[in-house]
Amino acid sequence: MCGKVKLGLLVGGNSAEREVSRASAENISSCLDSNKYEVIRCEVPEDFNAGWIKQLAQLKPDIVLSALHGGSGEDGSVQGLLKCMGIPFVGSGVEASAVCMDKSLCKTIMKSACIPVIDGILIKKGSNISAYEETMCRIGFPLIVKPNRGGSSLGITVAEDMEQLKAAVKLVFDEFTDDALVEKYIFGKEVTCAVLQGEKGPEVISVLDINRKRGIFDYEAKYVDKDWSGGISNLPGYMQDTIIGIAKKTFSLLGCEGYACVDMILMDEQVYVIEVNTLPGMTAKSLIPNAVKALGMDLGSFLDRLIEYKLR
Ligand SMILES: Nc1ncnc2c1ncn2[C@@H]1O[C@H](COP(=O)(O)OP(=O)(O)O)[C@@H](O)[C@H]1O
Ligand SMILES: [Mg+2]
């Protein structure tokens, strides 16, 4: 392509991760080579009104890079819109985005392909929790409760007993207007595997150890705490090979494109996939930018690679 690439950078959106999106967009903008790209920031409003779609249609970007996280930005809706508009975009398409956003559905698909996932149940919004008490007791406390379509660890509670569990499920229903995913809480080592789409299939950028300071890798650790909360994994080679194999298999199975992070927990050398992020955080504190840095690359070249791959 001659001249600069006109790149639409989507930011904001209608999810609770709006502010994270702003921080991701800021970091992405600061890394993109201004000799190569004309970056046009495209603000996706909280109420999702159609003005931004008109702006995008007028803009006719050569490619879209999305800094949106969660909500319509990550669940396949925006991907479907871009597809209908004929605008190429970096990252996963409609189906993979929709599946990965729905943690419970994603687990069902992974389980069917023998990818190990953690035992749990989905409680549909508004249903009577009492009907699930027996199953939850069978799985055994502590249990973790998450908004099924959430992100950034928002709305997650570790419940030690039935009373805490009921409050946690209620929080998901009322504050996050979502179904509640209840899982066995695993006291294991947490890792994330950053996967990139390569010419010959998925490639792993690196396996990252997560430092869980407070029981879960929470919002503060992800975005507020000063240090990075992660590092290039120091697990033995054979464990990393297992993790890499599972991450690649997961990426391919779900039809992910561009890049994704596969979150996992290890217990007794068993690896469980907890979720797949198709639009992982790109803030200066996030895992992918730091993994890229730790490997001696810069985020700008990493993004170049993704953009060039798509434009080819
Ligand atoms: N079953 C589990 N056992 C222990 N910790 C968990 C479990 N599921 C999630 N977590 C913790 O909660 C964090 C957020 O959960 P995750 O499912 O990745 O949701 P999010 O989309 O909000 O990142 C994880 O990074 C991990 O620290
Ligand atoms: Mg996660």
Q: How far apart are CA 27 and CA 293, in angstroms?
A: 13
pLDDT at 1: 62
**How many angstroms separate the alpha carbon of residue 4 from the centre of ligand 2?**
35
What mean pLDDT value characterizes the chain? 94
Q: Is the pLDDT of residue 48 over 90?
A: no
229, 262, 267: which is closest to 247 by C-alpha?
A: 262
pLDDT at 212: 86
183 lines ligand 1 (CB under 6 A): yes
Domain 98-116+187-311 coded CATH 1.10.10.10 = no
The lowest-confidence range among 39-48, 89-98, 106-115, 251-260 is 39-48
SS3 311: helix
Give span(s): CATH 3.30.1490.20, the chain: 120-184
**How many angstroms separate the alpha carbon of residue 274 from the centre of ligand 1?**
7
Tokens of 98: 């929709």
Q: What is the mean pLDDT of residues 28-32?
A: 97
Contact 141, 267 (CB under 8 A): no
Give span(s): CATH 3.40.50.20, the chain: 5-90
59 lines ligand 1 (CB under 6 A): no
CATH architecture under which domain 5-90 falls: 3-Layer(aba) Sandwich (3.40)
DSSP state of 224: I
Q: How far apart are CA 32 and CA 36, in angstroms?
A: 8
pLDDT tens, 252-298? 999 999 999 999 999 999 999 999 999 999 999 898 998 898 889 99
150 lines ligand 1 (CB under 6 A): yes
pLDDT tens, 128-180? 999 999 999 999 999 999 999 999 999 999 999 999 999 999 999 999 999 99
SS3 185: coil
Give span(s): CATH 3.30.470.20, the chain: 98-116+187-311
Q: Is the pLDDT of residue 213 over 90?
A: no
Tokens of 212: 């869980």
Tell me which of 3.30.1490.20, 1.20.1530.20, 3.30.565.10, 1.20.1640.10 is the CATH number of domain 120-184: 3.30.1490.20
Which ligand is located closest to the Cα atom of residue 153? Answer: 1
Q: Determine whether 238 is exposed, middle or buried from the number of CB atoms within 10 Å of its CB (0-12, 13-18, 19+).
A: exposed
185 lines ligand 1 (CB under 6 A): yes
pLDDT at 50: 84
